[in-house]
Structure 1
Amino acid sequence: LSTALHQRNGFFYLLVSSSTLVTRSNTLPSRRTLKNSRLVCKKDDVHVCVMCLRAIMNYQYGFNMVMSHPHAVNEIALSLNNRNPRTKALVLELLAAVCLVRGGHEIILSAFDNFKTVCKELMRFEKLMEHFKNEDDNIDFMVACMQFINIVVHSVEDMNFRVHLQYDFTKLNLEDHLERLKHTESDRLQVQIQAYLDNVFDVGTLLEDAETKTAALERVEELEESLNTMSERLLDVENEAMLKIVELEKQLMQTNKELDQLREVYANANSQVHTLRRMVREKDQTIRRQSRMERQAQETQLAVGPGAPQPQRGEGDGGVADSASPSPPPCPNLSPSPETVAYHSIGPGMGGAPGMPAPPPPPPPPPPMPGTVSNGPYPAPPPPAPPPPPPPPPPCRTSELSSGPMPPPPPVAPPLPGTGGSPTVIFNSGLAEGPLKLFSVKIKKPIQTKFRMPVLNWVALKPSQINGTIFNDIDDESILQNLDMEEFEELFKTKAQGPAVDLTLARQKLPQKAPSKVSLLEANRAKNLAITLRKAGQASEVICRAIHTFDLRTVPVDFVECLMRFLPTEAEVKLLRQYERDRKPLEALSDEDRFMMQFSRIERLSQRMTIMTFMGNFSDNIQMLTPQLHAIIAASVSIKSSQKLKKILEIILALGNYMNSSKRGAVYGFKLQSLDLLLETKSTDRKQTLLHYIANVVQDKYPAVSPFYNELHYVDKAAAVSLENVLCDVKELQRGMELTWREFSVSHNATLKDFISRNESRLNKLQEDARIAQDAFEDAVKFFGESSKTMPPSVFFPIYVRFIKAYRVAEDENEQKRRQEQMLLEKLEQEEQQDQEREDTKSPSHKGRRQQQELITELRRRQGKDSRHVYEGKDGAIEDIITALKTVPFTARSAKRSSRFFCDSAHSEEHY
């Protein structure tokens, strides 16, 4: 073969001559030709030559030489005229493999164009289809032919070109022939036919898909417009809902105030009733005692005898009773005992020393404080008094109570009921005014932990600051009884104390605007005024008349605001008046100077311009300030009334006391800024924070408390509000309305009258909302142990926003961690099951099927890529492609990017 190749100056002379014997026998054969023909038929040299070429092309160097030769592939295609079906199948397999090489598809099509010219075909692929239809008894050839047709049609990138090639075979009645082969008994042929049908492009279907896509895009656009509309409606509904919530909360606040007033009235009335009952009781006792003493006197007189002197009666009647009655004893010392102080702190009905109730203090009387006087002698009878109002108490007791100072309370009081004997401390509320208010707190015992715990650097509240806050009713010790604290210690135990957390916040420097200096240069000022007047597009007389009548329809508020910068100065007014006094012609002035001349003649010009600016911006200011005030009200009331948030703070306080008790002692509450430190405290393995643990505890032990953030309404909106600025804006609106009233009282303008009648009630409602917002915020801040002076809304609400965000992130991370653990557990179980199956299926047949299935899977994976195979680096790829095509049929993509066989980079590096 190699000798023939070199002698004939052609790479494939033997192949050319062999094919020529078959295809170009137009003349009478010579003796040598007949001899060669018999040799070809005997040894089938064409088949052997194609196999040799296949072997040569399996190497990189030989493949490049074959592909670069001008006639090599053409002669391979002409070999399809051979009568041997095995040779034709071999040729088609080789050509199909070349199609899948970059640049190979164009060479194959060029070879079949040459085939058409040489064989004088009417259409390309005509002979191929003729062989495919006639030689239906050779399955291998039919499979190779069907595989080649599938690859040559569907292995191109351009979808339009694929349709063109597909139509070439449609004109050759390929589809009709495939319909006849639909019931073939050969599974291999059926697989190739189905692969071709799966890759076929149906232009009609694609057109329908395009129309469907267009309709879908139009529908998407409609839905987006509808979504925008619904979003706007949702925003309006949300604003309406917030307005209703604020109204209900205002009613609730007003009802609570009325309820407090009724309770105070009830307490005063109850105190007066108790006082009257005590006075009536004392009067009855005095009358009974006097009657008893009179009877004793009479019995004494009868016992003495009839000769005893009789007491004088008349004006001195009743003197015996007065002399016989014991004198009133001195008022006892009113220094309270420990039981008395405890009774004060606990309240009536909770315990204390029995005795006569104390007289009421001067009006307005506070609630009675019984038990202040121990058992003592009966007081002297009160002096006679007319009918109700009842007589006052004895002067001795009143004077003693008013003049004698109350000693300080003792440090320790008897334990509260239900506290298990824990000691209690009595504290003053710290109020400088009003009656003395005492309250008690239970002393918390230090908690001894097994391991040394990290310190939670929170800012604790003093015990005297607890009264009236959310921490007053929190029982954190009961939380610890429901939690697994051993697990908590294992997670957060530490060996060394980390650096202290710096809680100081960086001060934000407000940008200071440099004082604007108005240029007195007339040229620049006149130039800027001319630009402003051109924007208005009105004559000077019209503008001045509109300003005089407050007509905002003629001159919009934007123009008025711009014109405010051109109010005439005193120097300009003097120049203009001097010009008039000199009787100089006004026509000689420029348009700007003439406008300034008329502009300066308006009375109270600055006040009128200010009023017009106020009137033009009034509605916008109302619409801007009202939602901000409503957000403050709704957020303040919801935070204060949230029971779930209270439970969360109770859990945090319990865990914090558990960590800090052995080092810093237990606390009764903490500052809200301490919530930011929950992310700083991490477990021993540094994999979770204290906030993650709290989220887990809430999810496991208190699942109903988990969505506590749903009870906090509009906190994010309130965090963006500066209440101080809003209140200043409300005051500015009030000053603007007062200025409008003064101008109306002077000019009696109809426009001002209409504006005042329409908007005064709106301003009053805004002022009421501002007052309610301020009161609600102060109550909420005070409820959490803070001060509104040191913690404005821009600091108070962002604490909750950050805490809610961090808590939800911790919840999501905990849930993700649980899912990962579940997936890992399932994976371990699956691996165990697979190990068990491997032990059961170690037979050689099972191993062979598994390897075959893995090969098919790998081939299908490689078919999913979209880049052609690149032959560089290694030999043997042609055989691999041919072998793979026999195993898995070629599958093309159905999109614009058609698939390529063996196109991933890994396979490319593996072969070439």
Structure 2
Amino acid sequence: MNLPPDKVKILSQYDNEKKWDLICDQERFQVKNPPSAYLEKLKSHLDHGGVSRKFKRRVQESTQVLRELEISLRTNHIGWAQEFLSEENQGLDVLVDYLSVAHSAVSYVSALTTDRAKNIDKSVEDLSRSTSNSPSHSTSKTSKAFTVRFNSLQNRKAVRSSRVVSQKDDVHLCIMCLRAIMNYQSGFNLVMKHPCCVNEITLSLNDRNPRTKALVLELLAAVCLVRGGHNIILLAFDNFKEVCGEKRRFERLMEFFCSEDNNMDFMVACMQFINIVVHSVENMNFRVHLQFEFTQHGLDDFLERLKFTESDRLLVQIQAYLDNVFDVGALLEDAETKNALLEHMEELQEHNAQLSSRLQESEREAMQKVSELEKKLIQTAKEVELLKVTSTKTRKIFPACDHRDAEQIPRTFMTVTASQLTGENLNTFVSPPAAKEEVDSGQACEATPPSSASPPHLQELSLESTTTPPPPPASGSTTAPPPAPPPPPPPPPPLLAPAGGTTQPSAADGSCKRKKPIQTKYRMPLFNWQALKSNQVAGTIFNELDDEHVLEEINMAAFEEQFKTKAQSAPVDLGTLKMKLAHKMPSKVSLMEANRAKNLAITLRKEGMAASDICCAIETYALALSLDFLELLERFIPTEYDMKLIHNYECEGRPLDELSEEDRFMVHFSKIPRLHQRISTLTFMGNFPESVQLMQPQFNAIIAASGSIKSSSKLRKILEIILAFGNYMNSSKRGPAYGFRLQSLDLLLDTKSTDRRQTLLHFIVSIIQDKYPELQSFYTELHFLDKASLVSLDSIRQDVRALQRGMEVTRREFTLEKENHVLQTFLSRNTELLDSLTADEQTAQDVYESVVEYFGESSETTPPPMFFPVFVRFIKAAKQK
């Protein structure tokens, strides 16, 4: 039945009875005549001429033949259409020839009618004069153009017969036959390849029937949408222009469009065709050119008048055209505006880059200052501890002395005692040299009580009087000590204890207060955290938290209403992957082999220095060689086998000039004493500044981030609230928890409410907003967490050890080269810098271990890339509330 896919889909949904009816109907349209029968009749019409009655009867029969042919092409199976278009029958050629004859008739009658209309307005004298002339002189320019077509037929009888054909619907029927042919893929391809078919279809626009014109425009639009079809359509309209005598292309098409305003189907088809012709071109300039062609014919003004039409289909096509129109003036203005915006954007980007650079520099300076303050705080805390221990031991030595007796104690005795006490504590506490000298010498100054703003230093220790020094008062206290001997001081606070926050009193043995299980109104889901037992929180932040006090401040009824489901699975821990590039070692080739000599030649050419200058720079430790060249040159250090070959060559007494440039370099290269040590020293000296510059910010980030986390009172309070909620959910089933692992913070997002719309973290954030608004900005107290997350203490510790080994090699080289100014200058400038870097490495390690243990974790199993990202993710999730 040759149905399209959409019709086949509809047909498959029919029942069997309906399908059988369609089959019976199809049987009625069985092939009655073969294609050759129709073609013979059409050819007979083209071959015979005359206007007799018999000929008129044949014309009527040819019109009927075209109707039957169109039905056969449309309804018969595809094999019939393929037979019609076969090379044997050449049905498309016959149909195009017949259409050409029909066009000639229509054009001749149209031209003749136009001339007669003009002659009516002339005078009788002009009319009689025109009868004496030949008809060709009285025709218009249009009729002269079509006379060329008639002469090409070489058959005057065919011209006379076309006058009869023009009175029929042959042109319309021919176009319908071509549409039926173009419905097949093979037929469409033949139409596209035919040299005259599209031209003849385009010339059918001269037909008077609006239905024919609309059908022609639909076929031309279909051709235009196929690859290569747009060019064919434009060539067809160029031919139309020559045949019809147009001044500009598309002139007559626009005349039809403006005059046929009473036929809406034709106007819709014409507007659709214009849309496709103009806007189906990818080249923007060509599209503007086509658009301008129609603008010259008055399309823009006519579309302005058609805005008030009542046809929705026509309005859709008009709007589609207007939406795709290129306004060149507006585009030019947009281009100029774009250029100005681009310039402004470049200025903003440059300004942004400058601000980013300044911000990074400010961050580095701030991180360095914070790190220095943290290191001073650590040193001050150690000095305070030393003062307290010294004071305690002094009171133990003179337990029965009162203030008056203490004044009589010899100064020398106090000096010796202080020196002994100081010496006993040097293994545990590190004090500044100045402080040690003052204590040993017995120089006294008045003891200054420690305060949170200005901690006391060891050099302020007072041994001037013979009285027993009182214990330092509490932070911020300014009262003088009583004259009576004071009681023993309380135990010292933990090292680097953060300021602020409530502390949980503990028993004398350090055990935590027993917690009672919480009975909830509803059955609560379990929060799958990693809880800490009471014996695991000693010395940690959780020993200072009071979650029971938090539960007294918060109404948990709303929490119980929203959370009644079980917790979800734990999140996947994030891991890091390190990839290292492996350097391809060149193959070891002796002096005699070509590959090694070739590689050495390439290496020497890269540096661009003479061999003697290179060897001289290595011998004198000059920093004139690049680091990349030194690393490459290190691969060419002669082996024992190479040295043996060179020695044998020299023993033979052969001149060095016979060797290649690379071989001569190897001879000089091998003569340098301690060659490997020299190259290693040069490489170390060149890499040292960059290595220090890379490692120092990493130590600063660890120190600053650790200090900010440990000293944050707001973070401590938030952990207290989380501990309270966790115990509220779990204590009735699993018992109370005294703390939790930091990885449990990630689980707050997985515990959801009954309606699955809210997480436990977001509920806690809402509680903080209502009850503890001062905690909302807790993340402002946490600094440089993202930078500390990228630091690997193990890696930078190994880097520091490598610098220490390199510095030791450099010192040994200097002992052998006492007169070398380069080594002397390097050691004098960088020894203290390396010592400072080593001290910072140890400080970063101590501070990090302290903060990790403070949160109940282990520094051995929790490196910085695992510890700090927990807080980064927690802050990010809390901000997304």
* 1:651 aligned to which of 721, 724, 728: 721
**CA 1:523–1:483 in structure 2 vs 1: closer, same or farther (change >3 Å)?**
farther
What amino acid is aligned across from residue 207 of structure 2 in structure 1?
S
| CA gap 1:242/1:278 in 2 versus in 1, 3 angstroms | closer
1:59-70 aligned within 5 A: none
* Contact 2:643/2:670 (<8 A) preserved: yes
Shift of 1:660: 3.0
Aligned residue runs from structure 1 range 702-741, under 5 A:
702=772, 704-706=774-776, 708-741=778-811
Q: Which amino acid letter does the alignment assign opposite residue 845 of structure 2?
A: Q
1:773 to 844, 848, 862: 844
Q: 1:713 to 1:799 in 2, by over 3 A?
A: same
Measured after TM superposition, the shift of residue 697 of structure 1 is 4.7
Whether 2:608 is the aligned partner of 1:480: answer no
Of 272, 281, 296, the residue aligned with 1:157 is 281
Q: Which residue of 2 aligns with 1:78?
A: 206
Preserved CA contact (<8 Å) 1:546 1:552:
yes
Q: Is 1:78–1:115's contact at 8 Å kept on the other side of the alignment?
A: no
- Aligned-pair identity in percent equals 44
Match of 1:378 in 2: none
Answer whether contact 1:781 1:787 (CA < 8 A) is retained.
yes
Distance 2:762 2:865 in 1: 22
Greater mean deviation of Cα atoms: 652-661 or 567-576: 567-576
Cα offset for 1:737?
A: 3.4
- Name which structure has the greater RCO, CA cutoff 8 Å, separation 6+: 1
SS in 1 for 2:281: coil
Q: Assess if the C-alpha contact under 8 Å between 2:530 and 2:741 holds in 1.
A: yes
**1:6 matched to 2:64:** yes
- State the distance in 2 between where 1:587 and 1:38 align: 109
- Aligned AA (2:701): A
**Cα distance in structure 2, aligned partners of 1:722 and 1:606:** 31
Q: Could you report, residue by residue, the CA deviation over 1:698-728 in whole angstroms, capped at 9, with x for unpaired residues?
A: 5665555455444332223323322233234
SS in 2 for 1:713: coil
Match of 1:471 among 524, 536, 542: 542
Would the aligned equivalents of 1:446 and 1:661 in 2 still touch at CA under 8 Å?
Answer: yes
Query: How far apart, in 2, do the equivalents of 1:671 and 1:640 lie?
Result: 16
1:95–1:148 contact (8 Å) kept in structure 2 = no
Residues matched between the structures, number? 649
Choose the corresponding residue for 1:662, options 722, 732, 736. Answer: 732
Distance (whole Å) between structure 1 residues aligned to residue 762 and residue 565 of structure 2: 17
AA aligned to 1:636 is S
Instruction: State the one-letter code of the partner of 1:5.
Output: T
TM-score (norm 1): 0.56
Match of 2:869 in 1: 801
The residue that corresponds to 2:427 in the other structure is none
Q: State yes or no: 1:101 paired with 2:229.
A: no
Equivalent position of 1:315 in the other structure: none
Please state how far the C-alpha of 1:625 moved relative to its aligned partner.
1.1
Alignment partner, residue 748 of structure 1:
819
Question: What SS does the aligned partner of 1:24 have?
Answer: helix
In the alignment, residue 78 of structure 1 is paired with which amino acid? N
Choose which of 694, 698, 701 in structure 2 pairs with 1:624: 694
Letter in 1 for 2:518: I
Call closer, same or farther: CA 1:642–1:96 in 2, change over 3 Å: farther
The 1:712–1:58 alpha-carbon spacing in structure 2 relative to 1, beyond 3 Å, is: farther
Quote how far apart the aligned CAs of 1:550 are: 1.0
CA deviations on 1:27-64 (whole Å, 9 max, x unpaired) are 799xxx99x99999xxxx88x9999999x699967988
After TM superposition, give the deviation of residue 801 of structure 1 in Å. Answer: 0.7
Shift of the 166–560 alpha-carbon distance from structure 1 to 2, 3 Å rule, reads closer
Asked if the contact 2:587/2:596 (under 8 Å) is kept, the reply is: no
| Structure 1: tracts of 5 or more residues without a match | 81-86, 281-361, 369-389, 402-417, 429-438, 816-912
Distance of 1:71 and 1:578 partners within structure 2: 94
Q: Which amino acid aligns with 1:625?
A: M
AA of the residue aligned to 1:478: H
Aligned-partner Cα distance in 2 for 1:677–1:787: 20
* Change in 2 beyond 3 A, CA 1:218/1:523: farther
Deviations 1:64-106 (A, max 9, x none): 89996778745642135xxxxxx66x66655555554344896
Question: Equivalent residue for 1:445?
Answer: 516
Rounded Cα–Cα distance in structure 2 between residues aligned with 1:572 and 1:685 = 79
- Take 2:749 and 2:319, find their aligned partners in 1: how far apart are those partners? 61
CA distance in 2, matches of 1:693, 1:440: 32
2:616 is the counterpart of 1:545:
yes
Instruction: State the 1:445 CA deviation.
Output: 0.7
SS of match in other structure, 2:507: strand
Tell me the residue number matched to 1:249: 374
Q: Residue 734 of structure 1: CA displacement?
A: 3.5
**Structure 2 vs 1, CA of residues 588 and 108 (structure 1 numbering), >3 Å: closer, same or farther?**
closer
Corresponding position of 2:708: 638
Is the 2:394–2:468 Cα contact (8 Å) retained in structure 1? no
Unpaired segments of 5 or more residues in structure 2?
1-58, 67-94, 116-134, 140-158, 192-196, 406-466, 474-482, 489-501
Q: Distance in 2 between matches of 1:119 and 1:597?
A: 94
Deviations 1:788-847 (A, max 9, x none): 3x245xx245233145326635764xx5xxxxxxxxxxxxxxxxxxxxxxxxxxxxxxxx
In angstroms, what is the RMSD of aligned CA positions? 6.0
Q: Secondary structure at the match of 2:207?
A: helix
Code of the residue aligned with 1:551 in structure 2: it is A
1:613 Cα shift? Answer: 2.5
The answer on whether the counterparts of 2:531 and 2:737 sit within 8 Å (CA) in structure 1 is: yes
**1:602-617 to 2 correspondences below 5 Å:** 602-617=672-687
- Equivalent residue number for residue 50 of structure 2: none
Separation of aligned partners in 2, 1:441 and 1:39:
115
2:369 corresponds to which letter in structure 1?
A: K
Q: Is the 8 A contact 1:672 1:784 kept in 2?
A: yes
Q: In 2, Cα distance between the equivalents of 1:596 and 1:549?
A: 18
- The answer on whether the counterparts of 1:529 and 1:592 sit within 8 Å (CA) in structure 2 is yes
Shift in CA distance, 278/169, structure 1 to aligned 2, threshold 3 Å: closer
Deviation at 1:668, TM superposition (A): 1.7
Q: Distance in 2 between matches of 1:505 and 1:118?
A: 78
Aligned to 1:860: none
Deviations along 1:533-589, one digit per CA (max 9) or x if unpaired, are 565554554333322221121x33444344445555677768867887887766677
Per-residue deviation at 1:752?
Answer: 1.8
Q: Which amino acid aligns with 1:235?
A: Q
Matches within 5 A, 1:164-203: 164-172=289-297, 200-203=325-328
Q: Is the alpha carbon distance of 1:74 and 1:23 closer, same or farther for their aligned partners in structure 2, counting shifts above 3 Å?
A: farther
Q: CA deviation at 1:248?
A: 3.5
With 197-206 and 611-620 compared, the bigger mean Cα shift is at 197-206
Once the two structures are superposed, the pairs formed by residues 68-147 of structure 1 within 5 Å of their partners are 73-74=201-202, 76-80=204-208, 97-98=218-219, 100-103=221-224, 116-117=241-242, 119-127=244-252, 147=271
**Partner Cα distance (2:848, 2:697) in 1:** 15
CA displacement at 1:740 relative to structure 2: 3.4
Question: Partner residue of 1:759?
Answer: 830
Q: 1:441 is paired with a residue of what secondary structure?
A: coil
